[in-house]
């Protein structure tokens, strides 16, 4: 842990220095990016406000909030940060933790206080925060405090320990131990165990009669009271695999459900489609009412999240839900290796009424495995003081970078891996979707957040892969790397040092999309030049900064307010009176009209489409020649008689060869049964040794004449 803490903290210090912002803010961004990727929060907007304890009054603290509550099942999420500058891991005790959580709860309590809001300066960031969230209060039905720290937490705080606005807060504590797990792709949440026997109840179930080794299914009927109770206890954890959690909800549907609960609760079963759920395991027992479920492990409501949250919302408003009955199809996944894949597919199929219906959370599609394979083979010029080529590691599944590195037990092997795959050259699937959509002029989709953006990207890329799989080759991968370098270059100048004080990610994606939009007709950005250089030159970065500042002025000054939240303006503005595909994108329309100067880019980073086609053809020809040359060498090596390798080895004693070359020749005596050259480098070395020996007078009938 100490090594991880040291590396993690050094990384935060470096980025803080380069971006001109506090370590606390960098820490917040890095950890919440992990939480968003894991699906533990939908959004995370950084905004620090703190008022210390005064006398008997409890202090107030907030370091961020989870965006628009209406997109998160009407849940208000706030973040509280405790960042330590210590060189060693500190321990946070229970009293300190509770004190910090209560500061967060007190912030929530003050949102509705006009007296408190009026005590703030209207131009201040904290006034804007309180004012935005105050407008959302009527639609909020639950609260969550996510506490993140680089300290080690040794206690566990239950939800009922912390209240806000007289409601129990859900508490999620993310300490340095869990941050390391998130980085390594490990699950940090405890299992959801619904013990029905403990509550002296059970759920009668009808077993679906079919034979499958991967899953088994049950049909059941749940009471509204039961659904309200488990949702109150576990909240959106029950909906983590629900596509609709990430794609938003419709208030009209919620209103209809509420109306049925209020006026015709006994008809709810007839009117409602019910819910679809999965679980890892259930316990079935025979009761006096027949076979019934008495325990459920890791229940996931993959379709029916609106039904569940609406019943809970009605319950909170003291509406009687005792007559509400809901049908449930429950699938228990038996195959641990396929649980993610099957759950995602059930979720996709159960949500087919949504436009983005074929997006799922699986990274097993051939597109992702293809990009991963290329990333392990494609190398680029050395960077900095390095003398060896490097590669970009595509992390198809979270934590695979660290997992691959840890499996290398030898210290030298790890050092070699670190040189070949520098940590700064690792990127994940949500990053890839961001680069592609930014360049494809879809900044409003990127602004939806990494999960939503990836779902939409994944849906589209699967169609493209099915239609034309051959386009996803080395050249396509080079384009991805070029786009990443461009995106990172824009991000490096969109910082507080350059007076960009908020909405960094939105500024970057809109600037990149604007650059793409402004390209002259018949020309492309020369991504090959960027990829070959593995960087942008400083003059180009300066030009990017000038345009970043123009984009930022638009984003921070919306012409229309959306839920009072600044970042909502960068998405499509919802209007329930018209279809979704007609929703306006005011921010993007204004950015497109900006008069940006790209003179340096046009003079130094453009290539005509015809030149690009010719360049690709030449590269393909060189690649084809390499393949032909390699095939020819394979044929020649196969023609060498076994005695020939021993003769070459004996003669090479008179040559000044490296030990590694001598060892390679010794292994060649086992060709083709016991040994074969592992790569192109070994193949080229064999021919180099033969050529060197031939110049010194070596000849043998056991080698082909044209070897």
The more confidently predicted of residues 256 and 116 is 116
Question: In the chain, what is the straight-line distance between the N-terminal and C-terminal CA atoms, in Å?
Answer: 55
Q: Which among 361, 339, 301 has a CA at the least distance from the CA of 214?
A: 339
CA distance 421 to 415: 10
CA distance 421 to 382: 11
Please state the rounded mean pLDDT for residues 363-390.
82
Please state the rounded mean pLDDT for residues 306-329.
88
CB 375 within 8 A of CB 392: yes
Q: How many Cβ atoms sit within 10 Å of the Cβ of residue 702?
A: 15
Instruction: Please give the C-alpha separations between residue 98 and each of 92, 102, 159, 171, 583, in angstroms, as whole numbers.
Output: 10, 6, 11, 11, 44
Domain residue ranges in the chain: 2-183, 193-350, 366-604, 621-695
Place of tokens 């600044």: 566
**What is the tens place of the pLDDT at every residue in 110-135?**
988 888 888 888 878 788 788 878 87
In this prediction, residue 583 carries a pLDDT of: 55
Beta pairing, strands 325-333 & 215-223: antiparallel
Examine the pLDDT at 176 and tell me if it is beyond 90.
yes
The more confidently predicted of residues 620 and 536 is 536
The torsion defined by the Cα of 224, 225, 228 and 229, in degrees rounded to 10, comes to -150
CB 48 within 8 A of CB 110: no
Count CA within 13 A, CB hemisphere, residue 664: 19
Beta pairing, strands 60-65 & 45-51: antiparallel
Examine the pLDDT at 352 and tell me if it is beyond 60.
no
In this prediction, residue 605 carries a pLDDT of: 94
Helices and strands of the chain, counted as H and E runs: 28, 22
Examine the pLDDT at 252 and tell me if it is beyond 50.
no
The stretches of 351-410 forming alpha helices (DSSP H) are 366-377, 400-406
Lowest model confidence (mean pLDDT) among 299-313, 348-362, 602-616: 348-362
Please state the rounded mean pLDDT for residues 300-310.
85
Return the percentage of the chain with pLDDT > 90, whole number. 36
In this prediction, residue 357 carries a pLDDT of: 33
Examine the pLDDT at 560 and tell me if it is beyond 60.
yes
In this prediction, residue 302 carries a pLDDT of: 85
CB 62 within 8 A of CB 79: yes
- The alpha-carbon radius of gyration of the chain (Å, integer) is 30
Lowest model confidence (mean pLDDT) among 83-97, 141-155, 573-587: 573-587
Examine the pLDDT at 230 and tell me if it is beyond 50.
yes
In this prediction, residue 564 carries a pLDDT of: 55
Place of tokens 């900095």: 384
The more confidently predicted of residues 493 and 633 is 493
CA distance 634 to 616: 27
In this prediction, residue 158 carries a pLDDT of: 60
The more confidently predicted of residues 324 and 350 is 324
Q: Which among 494, 516, 522, 341 has a CA at the least distance from the CA of 442?
A: 516
Examine the pLDDT at 226 and tell me if it is beyond 60.
yes
Lowest model confidence (mean pLDDT) among 309-313, 532-536, 548-552: 309-313
The more confidently predicted of residues 320 and 244 is 320
Please state the rounded mean pLDDT for residues 71-89.
89
Lowest model confidence (mean pLDDT) among 66-70, 194-198, 338-342, 461-465: 338-342
Q: Confidence class of residue 358 from pLDDT cuts 50, 70 and 90?
A: very low
In this prediction, residue 174 carries a pLDDT of: 94
Q: Which among 554, 556, 497 has a CA at the least distance from the CA of 19?
A: 497
**What is the tens place of the pLDDT at every residue in 594-629?**
999 999 999 999 988 887 776 665 565 556 566 667
CB 19 within 8 A of CB 28: no
**What is the tens place of the pLDDT at every residue in 628-683?**
677 788 888 888 988 999 999 988 887 878 788 888 888 888 888 788 887 777 88
Examine the pLDDT at 296 and tell me if it is beyond 70.
yes
**What is the tens place of the pLDDT at every residue in 411-436?**
788 888 888 899 899 999 999 999 99
CB 101 within 8 A of CB 92: no
In this prediction, residue 482 carries a pLDDT of: 96
Beta pairing, strands 290-297 & 300-303: unpaired
In this prediction, residue 622 carries a pLDDT of: 59
Q: What's the pTM?
A: 0.69
Beta pairing, strands 523-525 & 142-149: unpaired
Examine the pLDDT at 472 and tell me if it is beyond 60.
yes
Lowest model confidence (mean pLDDT) among 92-101, 325-334, 379-388, 588-597: 379-388
* DSSP, res 1: -
Phi-psi region of 340 (alpha: psi -120 to 50; beta: other; left: phi over 0): alpha
In this prediction, residue 632 carries a pLDDT of: 80
Examine the pLDDT at 580 and tell me if it is beyond 60.
no
Examine the pLDDT at 703 and tell me if it is beyond 70.
yes
Tell me the two tokens of residue 488. 């990172």
The more confidently predicted of residues 561 and 444 is 444
CA distance 218 to 330: 5
The stretches of 156-266 forming alpha helices (DSSP H) are 176-183, 224-234, 243-247, 251-263
Burial (CB count within 10 angstroms: exposed 0-12, middle 13-18, buried 19+), residue 41: buried
CB 143 within 8 A of CB 170: yes
Q: Which among 579, 582, 578, 561 has a CA at the least distance from the CA of 570?
A: 561
Q: Confidence class of residue 231 from pLDDT cuts 50, 70 and 90?
A: confident
Secondary structure (DSSP) of 321-361: -TT-EEEEEEEEE--GGGHHHHHHHHHHHHTTTSTTTT--S
Q: Which among 243, 53, 41 has a CA at the least distance from the CA of 144?
A: 41
Question: What is the average pLDDT score of the chain?
Answer: 84
The more confidently predicted of residues 555 and 382 is 555
Task: Report the b/e string of 417-451 with b at 16+ CB within 10 A.
Answer: beebbbeebbbbbbbbbbbbbbbbbbbbbbbbbbb
In this prediction, residue 627 carries a pLDDT of: 62
Please state the rounded mean pLDDT for residues 253-281.
85
Instruction: Please give the C-alpha separations between residue 136 and each of 74, 128, 216, 372, in angstroms, as whole numbers.
Output: 9, 13, 42, 42
**Which of 62-71, 518-527, 578-587 holds the top average pLDDT?**
518-527
Examine the pLDDT at 341 and tell me if it is beyond 80.
no
| H-helix or E-strand spanning residue 316 | helix 305-316
Q: Which residues pair with 219 in a beta bridge?
A: 206, 329
CB 152 within 8 A of CB 85: no
């Amino acid at each position: 842990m100490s090594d991880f803490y040291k590396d993690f903290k050094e990384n935060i210090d470096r980025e803080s220095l380069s971006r001109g912002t506090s370590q606390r803010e960098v820490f917040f961004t890095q950890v919440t990016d992990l939480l968003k990727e894991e699906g533990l929060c939908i959004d995370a907007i950084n905004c620090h406000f703190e008022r210390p304890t005064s006398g008997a009054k409890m202090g107030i603290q907030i370091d961020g909030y989870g965006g628009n509550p209406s997109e998160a099942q009407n849940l208000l999420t706030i973040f509280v940060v405790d960042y330590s500058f210590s060189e060693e891991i500190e321990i946070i005790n229970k009293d300190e933790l509770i004190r910090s959580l209560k500061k967060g709860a007190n912030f929530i309590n003050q949102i509705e206080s006009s007296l408190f809001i009026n005590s703030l300066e209207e131009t201040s960031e904290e006034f804007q925060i309180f004012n935005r969230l105050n407008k959302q209060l009527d639609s909020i039905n639950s609260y969550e405090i996510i506490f993140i720290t680089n300290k080690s937490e040794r206690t566990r705080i239950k939800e009922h320990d912390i209240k806000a606005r007289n409601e129990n807060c859900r508490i999620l504590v993310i300490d340095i131990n869990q941050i390391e797990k998130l980085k390594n792709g490990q699950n940090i949440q405890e299992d959801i165990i619904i013990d029905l026997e403990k509550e002296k109840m059970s759920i009668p179930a009808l077993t679906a009669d079919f034979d499958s080794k991967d899953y088994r299914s049950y049909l059941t009927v749940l009471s509204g009271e039961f659904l309200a109770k488990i949702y109150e206890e576990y909240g959106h954890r029950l909906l983590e695999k629900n596509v609709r959690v990430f794609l938003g909800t419709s208030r009209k549907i919620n209103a209809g459900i509420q109306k049925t609960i209020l006026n015709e609760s006994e008809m709810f079963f007839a009117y409602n489609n019910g819910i679809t759920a999965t679980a890892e395991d259930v316990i079935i027992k025979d009761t006096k009412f027949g076979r019934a479920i008495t325990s459920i492990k890791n229940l996931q409501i993959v379709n029916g999240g609106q039904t569940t949250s609406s019943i809970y919302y009605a319950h909170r408003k003291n509406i009687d839900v005792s007559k509400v009955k809901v049908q449930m199809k429950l699938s228990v996944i038996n195959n641990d290796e396929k649980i993610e894949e099957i759950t995602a597919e059930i979720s996709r199929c159960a949500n087919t009424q949504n436009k983005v219906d074929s997006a799922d959370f699986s990274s097993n599609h051939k597109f992702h495995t293809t990009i991963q394979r290329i990333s392990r083979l494609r190398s680029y010029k050395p960077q900095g003081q390095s003398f060896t080529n490097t590669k970009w590691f595509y992390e198809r599944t979270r934590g695979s970078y660290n997992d691959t590195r840890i499996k290398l037990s030898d210290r030298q092997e790890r050092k070699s891996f670190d040189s070949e795959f520098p940590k700064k050259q690792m990127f994940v699937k949500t990053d890839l979707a961001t680069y592609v959509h930014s360049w494809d002029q879809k900044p409003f989709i990127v602004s939806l957040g990494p999960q939503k953006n990836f779902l939409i990207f994944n849906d589209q890329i699967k169609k493209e892969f099915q239609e034309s799989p051959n386009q996803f080759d080395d050249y396509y991968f080079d384009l991805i790397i070029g786009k990443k370098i461009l995106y990172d270059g824009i991000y490096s100048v969109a910082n507080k040092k350059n007076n960009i004080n908020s909405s960094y990610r939105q500024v970057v994606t809109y600037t990149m999309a604007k650059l793409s939009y402004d390209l002259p007709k018949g020309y492309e950005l020369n991504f090959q030049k960027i990829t070959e250089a593995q960087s942008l030159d400083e003059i180009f970065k300066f030009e990017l900064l000038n345009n970043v500042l123009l984009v930022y002025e638009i984003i921070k000054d919306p012409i229309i307010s959306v839920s009072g939240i600044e970042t909502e303006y960068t998405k499509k503005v919802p209007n329930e009176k018209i279809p979704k595909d007609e929703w306006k994108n005011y921010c993007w329309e204004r950015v497109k009209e900006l008069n940006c100067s790209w003179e340096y880019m046009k003079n130094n980073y453009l290539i005509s489409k015809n030149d690009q086609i010719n360049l690709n053809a030449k590269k393909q020809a060189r690649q084809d020649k390499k393949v032909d040359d390699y095939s020819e060498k394979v044929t020649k090596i196969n023609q060498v008689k076994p005695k020939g390798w021993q003769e070459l080895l004996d003669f090479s004693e008179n040559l000044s060869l490296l030990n590694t070359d001598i060892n390679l020749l010794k292994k060649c005596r086992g060709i083709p049964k016991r040994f074969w050259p592992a790569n192109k480098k070994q193949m080229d070395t064999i021919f180099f040794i033969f050529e060197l020996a031939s110049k010194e007078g070596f000849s043998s009938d056991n080698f082909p004449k044209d070897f």
